[in-house]
Amino acid sequence: MCRFDDPWVLWLLPLALLPLWLRSGRVLANGWLAHAPRDRASEALGWALRGAVVLAIAALLCALAGPYRPEYSVQRLGQGAEIVLVLDRSRSMDQGFAPGSAAPMRGTGPEALNYYFSQTPGRLRETKGSVARRLLTEFTARRPDDRYALIVFSTLPIPVLAFTHRRVVVDAAIGAGNVGRGLAETNIGLALEAAFLNFEGRPYSGSRIVLLVSDGGDHIEADTRERLAWLARKMRVGIYWIYLRSANSAGLKAAADAAATADDEVPEIALDRYFRSLDVPYRAYEASDAQALQRAIDDVNRLEHLPIVDTELMPRRDLASWAYAVALAAVLLLLAARRLELRQWS
């Protein structure tokens, strides 16, 4: 279906028929033309050239009217989930993972080199942020039917991407945050609230997930805790937390044996217990190295494969360029005929 920005221009289309009635007054100066037999091929060529003039004028008028294809909706059915990626962008994500407890490996093979980089502080060690982005890119590549949104946060949440299934856009959004250094402070409460609000007003068409990737917890205020709990239940959202353990952290595993008073001392344990108190699906993964993070993402990839229905709005498409192309082709044909025209007898 085609529409026009300035449809009044189409009222001028009858002017394109004028070349069919106008005749050229130039005739070759030869008296024997009256006795020449009728040349039907030349007559057909003459009408064809007039048709080219009509086509050029009509195409130009259509282009000036501003033709376009309006936006339309396409419904897509797949198997997956709507996932909001919440990625920590604090300064601690620019550091490496917690050093392992294994004995140093000897040799110069790939295993020894990987171990060296994982245990070496500073720039030689791959940062948690870069590993998280690389594996999230692989994760989205294995789930093409999912719809992704992305929020990065430190002091405040920064919405980077609204829900989309386009892989190129998702990959670019994940990699866009890997610029510069992060801030020192972290506010997970505001980031989670922004993540939950991504689902507001959207029809429930499949699994909903907030995938939090962070290397630390946070003490959330009481009113924020209540609001997050209300939003999580209202939006029917599942929470997945991939915790990237730092060198100075005891890890989430210590929460099982820790006393309740430890909530005031260890932010990640307090956040883990808060998530467990919510009446929504929740899973936590402690990733102390790249391999553990890979296993956590593989687990998420296996769990969420419910049918999902999504309506995608296709953007408006300008069609004026096609009309200009038709007009250009007709004009070039007329110019070629002009060059081949015989103007005088030799």
Cα–Cα distance between 307 and 53 in angstroms, integer?
Answer: 55
Tokens 């929470």 belong to residue: 239
CA angle 26, 32, 35 (to 5 degrees): 110
Task: Please list the pLDDT of the chain residue by residue as tens digits (346 residues).
Answer: 788 999 999 999 998 888 887 765 555 556 566 666 777 787 788 888 889 999 999 999 999 999 999 988 887 777 778 889 998 877 667 666 655 533 333 343 444 434 434 444 444 456 777 777 887 888 788 777 788 999 988 888 888 888 888 888 888 888 876 665 656 677 888 999 999 999 988 887 778 889 998 877 667 888 888 999 999 999 989 898 888 776 566 666 655 555 554 555 677 888 888 888 888 888 888 776 667 667 777 777 776 667 777 777 788 899 999 999 999 999 999 899 888 876 655 4
CATH number of the domain located at residue range(s) 76-313 in this protein: 3.40.50.410
Cα–Cα distance between 250 and 266 in angstroms, integer?
Answer: 9
* Domain spans in the chain, listed from the N-terminal domain onward: 3-69+316-340, 76-313
| β-pair partners for 78 | 308
Residue 34 gets the label, from left (phi > 0), alpha (psi -120 to 50) or beta, of: alpha
| β-pair partners for 214 | 243
Radius of gyration of the chain (CA): 34
Cα–Cα distance between 29 and 24 in angstroms, integer?
Answer: 14
CB atoms within 10 A of CB 64: 17
Nearest to 196 by CA among 256, 151, 164: 151
Q: Max Cα separation, the chain?
A: 117
Cα–Cα distance between 79 and 81 in angstroms, integer?
Answer: 7
Tokens 């102390």 belong to residue: 288
